[in-house]
Structures are given as structure tokens and as C-alpha cells.
Chains A and B, each alone.
Chain A
Amino acid sequence: MKILKQIWNMISIPLVAVILAVFIGTIIIFISGSSPIQAYYGMLRGSLGGLDSITRTLEKATPLIFSGLAVAIGFKAGLFNIGAQGQLLFGAITSAAVGFMIKGLPWFIHAPLALLAGGLAGALYGAIPGILKTTTGAHEVITTIMLNYVAINFTDYLADGPWKDRSLSNVVARTPEIELSAKIGTIGPIPIGFIIAVIAGVIIWWLLWRTTWGYQIRTVGLNPNAARYAGMRVSMVVILTMVFSGLLAGLGGAVETQGVVGRYQPGFNVGLGFDGITVALLGKTHPLGAIPAAVLLGAIKAGSSEMQFESGIAKEITDVIQALILFFIAADMIVRWIIRRRVEEGAEKVVLSTGWGKH
């Protein structure tokens, strides 16, 4: 009984938030003149209606787990990394470059190499806002958003310039297809990328709660002044957290390139980084919470194409539902009032809006 209660305590707020969001989404679909029942039927079929659909759901969930972890680890240190999108793009294009430029490697070297290169690119790009924050005090929310736009432009340039697919049949901006040895496949219906993502989630959990370094991250997130007083090097922790966050986002991009797209093409990875914010908050900024949250969002995404096909409702309704989920999660006071629950004592609360000044 006690375990059941604990589980309920853990999932009740996200669950009610999702139900409320879907309810309002239903009203919006109804207002715009379509049938909600048809819409949800299509969505269910597209996400869970068969092995293919389940594979697609997990495929969609994979980069979201990574970007969700990226945002969540930032939150733990009191950092809001909205730049997961940009870091993910750099990860995606770098792994594509390693994937198509290097030839003749066996798969067990080539695929991990491309993955690692993608993660590294994301990590380096994530370091920039961390360094800017600690040295100049520039708030990471704005710098990471600006770096997203820089990343979009820069990867566009690479895919349309030096790394463009020069084969005769191609006219659009995209890189050549990666070598077969760099691709990541599936085991049965389960994409290998998904397995890697789950392992990453467990590693991040271990890192945050079982290592000194994780303890430092959490302390800095809860109270940077206390952390400084206790002798922790706050700036170092901030930079390293951003590096890790970028690494995870970069891996997300790399997995998407190697497991799904097969090359880098501008516009194919849009939104994956931003969705990480919803995933992280839906998972209560817990690394293991990010996994079910990402699967739920992945299912909505996978089902949305089928839904559009069956009921003619624009896929963007998923973005609306996602924003509503985010709203109800963030505004948990509304949800708490509905299910009559008080705020737990000693609950870890992330504080982000400390103004534009130093950390």
C-alpha cells in the first residue's frame, strides 16, 4: 500500500496535467470543426496500433529522452538550457559528417565514433553559454536561444556548402547519406538508439545521486551561495553542467541522424530540442522521469501523422497540447487544487528567475 501511495504521489500531478491538457485539446479540436473521437482514434492507431507503430513511437521518443535529460540536468544546477535545440543540431550534423566522410570502418567502430563525435560537438557548443554565464554574467536563457539561431544558420551553411550532397540527383541542401556502418538499427521492434537513451538516463541518475559531482550540481541548483560557502567551485560546476547538458543534446541529434534520418537535412530536427523542456518538466526534472515523459510525447508525435491522415486535423495540435501540458505542470497549484494535495515538505524546488545578473 505504501509503495502504491508513493507511486501515486510521484505521478499524480503529471498525470492530471496531461489529462487536463488533452481535455482542452479536445475542446480546441471540437471548436475547429473536427471530430475529437476520430482524432484520438487515429492517434492511438498511429502510436500503438501495431509493431510498426510502436517502433515509430520509440523512435520519436529517443531524441526526446536525450533532450529531456539535457534540460533536466541543467535544471538540477539551476540552469535553464533552452539551447538544447542548437546543441542537438550540431550533434546531428557532426555525426552525419563522420558518418559519410569516413569510409571502410567496421560498424562497431564507425557507429560509436559518429555518435561520440555528435555528443562532443553538442558538448562544446553547450560550453559556450556556461562560460559566458560564469565569466560575464550573461543569462543562459537568452544566450542559448541566440545560439540556437546561430546553430540553425551555421548548419544550414554546412549542409548547403562544404558538406552538401553533390550527387547529380540532389538539388536540396543536405549532406550525403551516411555509410551503412555508421547507422544504428533496431533489435526486433526496439530501436537501439532508444536502448542507448534509456541507459543514458540511468547513468545521469547515478551521476546526480550517487557521485560527489552530482551532489555538487544539486547543491549549486538549490542554493549557489551555500555551495560557494561550502567551498564548491560554482563556476566550474555551472560550466561542466552545461557541457554535460550539451553532450546529451548532441547525442540526441546524433542518434536521430544515425538511427532515423540517415543524413543531415536542415529542418528535419526542428523542435526536438525545445520538446526537451516539456519532457524534463513532465518528468519532474528527474532523469528517470524523462523516459516515460518522452515516450508519451513520442507517442503523441508518432500518432499525429495518422491522425492528420484520418481526420484532417493539422499535426500542430500536438504542439498546442504540449504547451498545455507544460502549463499545467508548471502551474501545479491548479492541479494540486483539483486533486486536493498539499505541497510536500522539503520538496526540491528549482529557482530559475534570479534576474539577469550573476549566478
Chain B
Amino acid sequence: MINRIKLSKILNLTTIAAAVALIIVIFSYSRDAMVTQAVLNSMIRQSTPLILGALCGLMCERSGIINIGIEGQMLLSAFTGFIISATTGNLVLAVISSILTGAVLGLLLAFMSINLKLDQIIGGTVINIFALGITGYFYSQTLVAKTKLSPIPLEPLTQIPLIGPVLFNNPPITYTAILLVFVIQYMLFYTKWGLRIRAVGEHPRAADTLGVNVNKTRYISTIVGGAIAGLAGGFLTLEAVGSFERAMTNGRGFVALAVMIFGKWTPLGAWGASLLFGLASAVQTQLQFGGRLLIPHQFIGMLPYVLTIIVLAGFVGRARPPAAEGKPYEKE
């Protein structure tokens, strides 16, 4: 009986999708190792901002704050990181400034949601429009960054075929993202802090009665979430592209929310979802450049967004968001 329950848990849609993806990867590796590795590398690259964004989203939402401003947090952090990198040439400083920018915007969201009791969706929208405006205003094409973060091979591990070069030869923010998945998973479900965050997101009144400071917990979660979104922004300019473009986040902040929902508000689930999204875009880019696909590029460009809609439509009804989400907490 116990075994059957476990089996049905394992055999859910996500696992099946992951298994299918794995089989395809192994099959294509046996056919063409070079291309497979390139696709998988690109999958990791594409998934990094998504998983970071999703981690930001779930840190906020687990504590009861809806963060629709991830897009704006990423964009402004990408911008400040780029500016610091271009003016000082110091990449460490640049990454730190990205993280700080994200954290400050997280603070702003928390302030709007908790103290001003602003509708959280409008609060997030304010952040998005503000980031778009301020980066557009201060952006100038004359600035160029000279360097970007380069891969750090973790030596003996890179020798493993396929997995080695894909997982263990990445730039620092990518490693950090993968590390954060496990850290936050552990933090949320196995520590006192995680329990508090979840309690505040599910039933703030009960948490309050037991002496948890609801608003303080929400503040901390949202600021930490913002910092993670800041890291995602830093990834875009300091690790992936090396330069800044207007509106370069291109909806990733919103796709990240779908990734979070797809992963049922858990870091590990979101990681799986982000890898699936990453694989989808990696495969279509490969098909496009390989010239094996005679579809106009605009249709290929639509794919991640259509996928997001499908995920949202198919999964939102089944996954349950934190109960107290979106509601300001007032003491009695």
C-alpha cells in the first residue's frame, strides 16, 4: 500500500517529462556528442536566470508576498552591475552591486506591500515600469564593459563524459544558482527559519500567536528574494552577454514565475522546471542555427512564452499556492 502511494507520487507529469527528456538526451548523445553537449551547455545558460528568478519568486511567495516585479528587479540589477563593471572593471564589485540593487528593490516591494498595504500586483508593476524607465534614461551606448565572468573548471570533475563539461565547467553565478537551489530547499523545509517563513505565508495569525514577527519575516524573505533576482540580473550582463541592452530581460522575470508555479513552489521542482524551459529554448536555437527548421524565426521566438502559458493553464489548478499570499497582515 505504502509502495503504491510512493509510485503514484513519482509518476507525476513532471517526472515523466524529465525522464523523456533524459532519454532523448542520451539518445542524441550517442548520435552526435558535440551537438548534444552544446545544447546542454546552452540549456544550463538559459535556465540560470529562470531558476534564480523562480527562487526569488518563491522566497517572496512562501512568506505571503506576491512578487510580479522580478522582471524589473532583474533589469535594474543587470544595469547597475553593468555600469559598475564598465566604470571600474571590477567584476566582484559589479556582482555585489547587482545583488544590492535587487535587495533594495525587494525592500521597496516589502515596504509597499507591508507598510503602504498597496495591492502587491500593482506594487510589482510599479517596480517593472520604474526599472524600464530608469535604465532607459541612464543607458548610453558609449559605455562598454571590457570583461565578463569566465568559466571556472572544477578540475577532476570536468573529465566525466557529457556531465562533466556541462555541470562542472561554468562561470561563478551559474554555480551559485545551482548551490542556492539546494541551500534554499534545505532552509525552507528543514530549518526553523524555513518553518517560520512558510507559517507566515500559510497562516500569519497562527504564526503571530506563536510569537513569530510576521512582517519582519516577510521583509527579510522579500529582501533576500530581491537579492537573488539581482544575481539573475548580474548573470545577464556580467556572465551571459557582457553588455547591457534596453529591456534585455525580455520577459524572463515573468517566465520565472511560471517556472516557480510549475515547480510547485519548491526549489528543486523549480530547478527541474527551469531546466526543461532551458532545454526547450536550447533545442530550438540549435535547430534554428543548424538550418534544419524552415519556420520563420519569430515563431521560434514565441516558444518560451507559449510554453509558459501552457504550463500556467495546465498546472495552476493542481498546484496550491501559499494560502495567505497577497494579503497584508494586520494585527488584531
Contact = CB atoms under 8 A, between A and B. Distances in A.
Given A156-B298, A356-B321, A314 B316 contact: no
Interface of A: 28, 32, 80, 82, 132, 135-139, 141-143, 145-147, 149-150, 153-154, 156-157, 160-161, 274, 277-278, 281, 314, 316-324, 326-327, 330-331, 333-334, 350-358
Interface string B101-132: 00000000000100011111111011001101
Interface string B298-322: 1101100110110011101100110
B57 to A, nearest CB: 11
Given A142-B308, A149-B250, 18 more contacts: A132-B313, A136-B314, A137-B316, A139-B312, A146-B258, A146-B309, A153-B299, A154-B298, A316-B133, A318-B133, A319-B133, A320-B137, A323-B126, A331-B116, A331-B118, A353-B325, A355-B321, A357-B320
Given A32-B138, A319-B137, A352 B121 contact: yes
Nearest to B254: A145
A330 B126 contact: yes
Contacts of A333: 116-118
A352 B306 contact: no
B93 interface: no
Q: Which 4 A-B pairs have the closest CB atoms?
A: A319-B133, A353-B326, A316-B136, A323-B130
B55 interface: no
B66 interface: yes
B261 interface: yes
B296 interface: yes
A314 B136 contact: yes
B313 A353 contact: no
A317 B250 CA distance: 21
B251 interface: yes
A146 B116 contact: no
A356 B117 CA distance: 19
A316 B330 CA distance: 39
Main DSSP-derived SS at the B contact region: helix
B309 A320 contact: no
A145 B251 contact: yes
Contacts, number: 149
13 contacts: A132-B313, A136-B317, A146-B258, A316-B139, A317-B137, A323-B134, A324-B130, A330-B118, A331-B112, A333-B116, A350-B119, A355-B325, A356-B325
Interface residues of B, number: 48
B125 A138 contact: no
Contacts of A132: 309, 312-313
Main DSSP-derived SS at the A contact region: helix
Contacts of B299: 153, 157
A33 B117 CA distance: 36
From A32, A317, A330, A354, residue with most partner B Cβ within 10 Å: A330
A321 B123 CA distance: 16
Contact of B129 (A137, A278, A317, A354): A278
Interface of B: 66, 68, 112, 116-123, 125-126, 129-130, 132-134, 136-139, 250-251, 254-255, 257-258, 261, 296, 298-299, 301-302, 305-306, 308-309, 312-314, 316-317, 320-321, 325-327
Nearest to A324: B130
A229 B75 CA distance: 44
Contact of B125 (A142, A146, A326): A326
Contacts of A326: 122, 125-126, 129-130
A157 B261 CA distance: 30
B69 to A, nearest CB: 11
A277 B258 CA distance: 22
Contact of A351 (B119, B308, B313, B320): B119
A334 B301 CA distance: 42
From B116, B123, B257, B298, residue with most partner A Cβ within 10 Å: B298
From A278, A321, A333, A355, residue with most partner B Cβ within 10 Å: A355
Contacts of A356: 261, 316, 321, 325
A150 B130 CA distance: 23
Nearest to B300: A153
Contact of A319 (B116, B132, B254, B301): B132
Nearest to A321: B133
Contact of A153 (B121, B123, B301, B326): B301
A84 B308 CA distance: 19
A197 B10 CA distance: 56
Nearest to A157: B298
A335 B302 CA distance: 41
A147 B312 contact: no
A146 B137 contact: no
A138 B312 contact: yes
Contacts of B316: 136-139, 356-357
A357 B123 CA distance: 19
B326 A150 contact: no
Contacts of B68: 141
Nearest to A353: B326
Contacts of A143: 309, 312-313
A10 B87 CA distance: 47
Contacts of A138: 309, 312-313, 316
A350 B68 CA distance: 17
Contacts of B321: 355-357
B169 to A, nearest CB: 32
Contact of A150 (B296, B306, B314): B306
